[in-house]
Structure 1
Amino acid sequence: MTRFQVTIDCADPDRLARFWAGALGYKPEDPPAGFATWKEYWRDVGVPEEELDDRVDSIVDPEGTGPRIWFQQVPESKTVKNRLHFDVRASGGRGLPPEMRREQVRAEVDRLVGAGATVLRVLDEPGIDHYAVTMHDPEGNEFCVT
């Protein structure tokens, strides 16, 4: 099996890492064995003191099954629509009645809005057994709640 991480370019790694940890049920990544903090680790490998801080920039699935996600600080801002996005699956699946799935998606949308996301549009066309909400994370990256 090929292991991979997802890297997200951003302006504020700590803010996005904490948002997505909450959104996905992930947790901030622990420092390497033998180090109490990432700052201690980076100092040990020679990162200059003025570049050290205690911000979170990577998150991991506490179960160890999902990919590591690293939030890479970049100088340029987001300018176009994402070519890749997360789908946060909150509906419970097609085995549930449509209205129950909508309620669960709405509840997750409300939770994520409280964490800093914004609603872009609701995908709910008559006659289609699908309900989803397209959102923006705190830096404007698109994602869906389905």
Structure 2
Amino acid sequence: MALRVDLTFDTAHAERLAEFWKLALGYEDEPPPPPFATRDEWAASFDDPEDSGGGAWLHDPAGVGPRLSFLDVPEPKRAKNRMHLDIRVGRSADQWQRIEQKAAELVAAGATILHTTDGHHIVMADPEGNEFCIAP
């Protein structure tokens, strides 16, 4: 049996960071699991007084990419990620132009360009400093 992979981000502002990644990846909000009507109702079912942080959940509407979870945590990000996401624009004759266009779109949404390897990829950070790349 194949297993499914979800990716979880520790965040300072889960809902705000989820909005960025919805734009970056074309993802959508994931509804709460049945039988719950809302995420708040679902979270309350755990009855964990230690867990008072916010959260947001996204999924790929095509069902291809991994589910993303964003969970507020009290501690800040302190170092470079040991794992990062690559946003793939697809190989084509105009791939560098498409990489630059996606980077510009994400900068306008709060990302930062960290490094550019002309013609190959752009290393960026999301609004909370999580590194990712845009590549063909």
- TM-score, normalised on structure 2? 0.85
Q: Matched residues in 1 for 2:7 and 2:43: separation? A: 21
Shift of 1:23: 0.7
Q: Structure 1, residues 71-105: CA drift from partner, whole Å, max 9, x if none? A: 12111111111110011112x31xx22xx111111
Asked if residue 105 in structure 1 is aligned to residue 106 in structure 2, the reply is: no
1:56 to 1:88, Cα distance in 2 relative to 1, 3 A: same
Matches within 5 A, 1:21-60: 21-43=22-44, 46=47, 51=52, 57-60=56-59
Question: Which structure 1 segments of 5+ residues have no match?
Answer: 125-129
Distance 1:113 1:123 in 2: 17
Determine the C-alpha separation between the residues in 2 that align with 1:78 and 1:46: 27
Equivalent residue for 1:7? Answer: 8
- Are the aligned partners of 1:18 and 1:56 in contact in 2 as well (CA < 8 Å)? no
Preserved CA contact (<8 Å) 1:28 1:56: no
Distance across 2 between alignment mates of 1:70 and 1:140: 16
The one-letter code sitting in structure 2 at the alignment partner of 1:17 is: A
SS at structure 1 position matched to 2:65: coil
Q: 1:88 is matched with which residue?
A: 87
Residue pair 1:120, 1:135 contacting (<8 A) in 2 also: yes
2:130 alignment counterpart: 141
Unaligned stretches of 5+ residues in structure 2: none
TM-score (norm 1): 0.79
Correspondence for 1:114 among 96, 108, 111 = 108
- Hey, what's the Cα distance between the residues in 2 that align with 1:43 and 1:7? 20
Which protein shows a greater Rg? 1
In structure 1, what residue type is equivalent to 2:78?
T
Q: Do the aligned partners of residues 10 and 43 (structure 1) sit closer, same or farther apart at CA in structure 2, a change above 3 Å counting?
A: closer
User: What is the CA RMSD across the aligned residues, in angstroms?
Assistant: 2.0
* Corresponding letter in the other structure for 1:12: H
